[in-house]
Structure 1
Amino acid sequence: MSKVVLITGASSGIGATVAQYLVHKGFKVYGTSRNPKEAFYSGVRMIALDVTKPETITNAVNTIITKEGRLDYLINNAGMGITGPLEETPDDETRKVFETNFFGALEVIKAVLPTMRKQQEGMIINITSIAGYMGLPYRGLYSATKGALGIVTEAYRMELKEFNVKMTTVAPGDFATNIAAGRYHAPILDNSPYKDNYGNTLALMDEHVEAGMDTMVMAKVIYKIMNTKKPKVHYRVGYFMQRFSIFLKRALPDTWYEKLLLNHYNL
């Protein structure tokens, strides 16, 4: 019997690629978006879910359980990007990115856990980010949301061990997706003391995304994890220097590592 997978944020980017790849591998895949235009695409069953609206999460999960009788995997992929000087980012946008990237992911986890506990098996893969391992200039809020999700995953793993429900994170680096177009960008204000540095950093971030890896790399890594009996706590997927930057943060004095970031962003 085909294993059942729920992937949030599956209408584009990494989520869409992973969903279609898993269908190709024989999984029964339910993908979500806030406003799905079609019931199916490339074999993926698309259903409505907005991670900031708990009632839509409940409805989506109940729909899957009613139809399939089980749920084997959750891939918590839905999220949003945000850039801007911390001082100048509107408070409502700060709350919105945490509601989406952190609290929304937690709500989906809560919705699927009763079924996975009852089954005495299941796996939850939280998509975080290499940016979540460090505070990056003009991306501090995004880093904070992904870092928080990674820490919660570590705690959840231990709490769920007795129920045979596994949890892990996959932290991508830069991938060639439309995330840059979908980010919230705090405006570059003419009278802002951050105008030049923020503008230059924003341009550099967009260049990194355009030169990013193929999303199929993520799909293959996730598929491999799904077939692992004892998944690691964290996985990182990206170019060598992106993954190596995490090692450097742990190995170097904080100020040395900060200097490397300042040089990287020409600040």
Structure 2
Amino acid sequence: MYLLGHFQTLQMDKKVVLITGGSSGIGKSIGTYLTSKDFTVYGTTRNLDKYPNFDAFQLIALDVKLPESVEAAVTKVIAAEGRLDILINNAGVGITGPIEETPHEEILNVFDTNFHGPIHMMKAVLPQMRKQGGGVIINITSIAGYMGLPFRGYYSATKGALSLVTEALRMETKNFGIRISNLAPGDFATNIAAGRYHAPVTKGSAYEEVYQKSLDLMNEHVDAGGDPMQVAHKVHAIIEKRNPNIHYPVGEFMQRLSLLLKRILPGKLYEKLLTNHYKL
């Protein structure tokens, strides 16, 4: 059995953090905040050339969809620092559209990024974390991953799948001193809407009117979202816990309340609440 003793000794030094999708939004907020707390932070981006003046923390190239890119980035951090204490799986993409009309290549892309990508990352860091006697992995999922949201079904599916894998991996690695949690944000003011894939609103489609209304509502929620620094504070709190929980939602009260209602309400009643909210 692996002991936490060695890892706790390392905690006295500056802990090394790797954050995927660290160039903007929630990832940048997490990296900036942890840097202010004296962590050594590496963020990742698919295209370093787009950020020539980035100076919030160290930024390295990584595409979570490519295992060889993942291995190269993790190897680079370990070579530079001698260890890797914390992985934050934050990189992700959004997708909207009717289940029936979303192109299949876009479905595969969102799963490659939001689900397979974090798995590539965890496979790459786990051997090092076992070697050093412990570590922390935080998977950034979504409150949307707890429910099948209309016109966001594929996004919900990727985040829900990652959440379940996290539950399993916690049990598989519990003897190695590795602490793994899900952090599920609600709507925050980031640029995710700009990078989200939107299946086109097709004129004459059976979904044309209702999908457009839902799309407008989703974009309003993101624009009016909270400060992503709230997520950063929660990440730091999880890192500091000796025995963190499995799931941590973070967001507005009504978004967190929706998770409780999902657990206690009959399925049809909860579905009715969602359809009323999305004006379906």
For normalisation by structure 2, the TM-score amounts to 0.94
Q: Deviations over 1:59-100 (max 9, x none)?
A: 000000111110000000000000000000000000000000
Percent identical pairs in the alignment equals 59
Which of 22, 36, 59 is the equivalent residue of 1:24? 36
Query: Does 1:9 find its partner at 2:21?
Result: yes
Q: Which amino acid aligns with 1:127?
A: I
| Secondary structure in structure 2 of the residue aligned to 1:88 | coil
Task: Write out the 4+ residue segments of structure 1 that deviate beyond 4 Å after TM superposition.
Answer: none
Q: Which amino acid aligns with 1:9?
A: G
| Secondary structure in structure 2 of the residue aligned to 1:123 | strand
Question: Match for residue 121 of structure 2?
Answer: 108
User: How far apart in 2 are the matches of 1:85 and 1:100?
Assistant: 20
Question: Match for residue 48 of structure 2?
Answer: 36
How far 1:191 moved relative to its partner? 1.9
What pairs with 1:7-86 in structure 2 (closer than 5 Å)?
A: 7-37=19-49, 38=51, 41-86=54-99
User: How far apart in 1 are the matches of 2:125 and 2:180?
Assistant: 12
Which of 220, 225, 228 is the equivalent residue of 2:241? 228
Deviates more, 1:19-28 or 1:32-41: 32-41
What pairs with 1:100-139 in structure 2 (closer than 5 Å)?
A: 100-139=113-152
| Secondary structure in structure 2 of the residue aligned to 1:41 | coil
Residues 11, 36 of structure 1: 8 Å contact kept: no
Q: Deviations over 1:7-63 (max 9, x none)?
A: 000011000111111111100000000012357733411110001111110000000
User: How far apart in 2 are the matches of 1:40 and 1:201?
Assistant: 37
Q: Which amino acid aligns with 2:71?
A: T
Question: Match for residue 189 of structure 1?
Answer: 202
User: How far apart in 2 are the matches of 1:36 and 1:237?
Assistant: 30
Residues 20, 42 of structure 1: 8 Å contact kept: no
Q: Which amino acid aligns with 2:20?
A: T
- Structure 2: gaps of 5 or more residues: 1-12
What pairs with 1:164-183 in structure 2 (closer than 5 Å)?
A: 164-183=177-196
For normalisation by structure 1, the TM-score amounts to 0.98
Q: Which amino acid aligns with 1:17?
A: S
The aligned length equals 267
User: How far apart in 1 are the matches of 2:279 and 2:114?
Assistant: 28
RMSD across aligned positions (CA): 0.9
User: How far apart in 1 are the matches of 2:152 and 2:260?
Assistant: 20
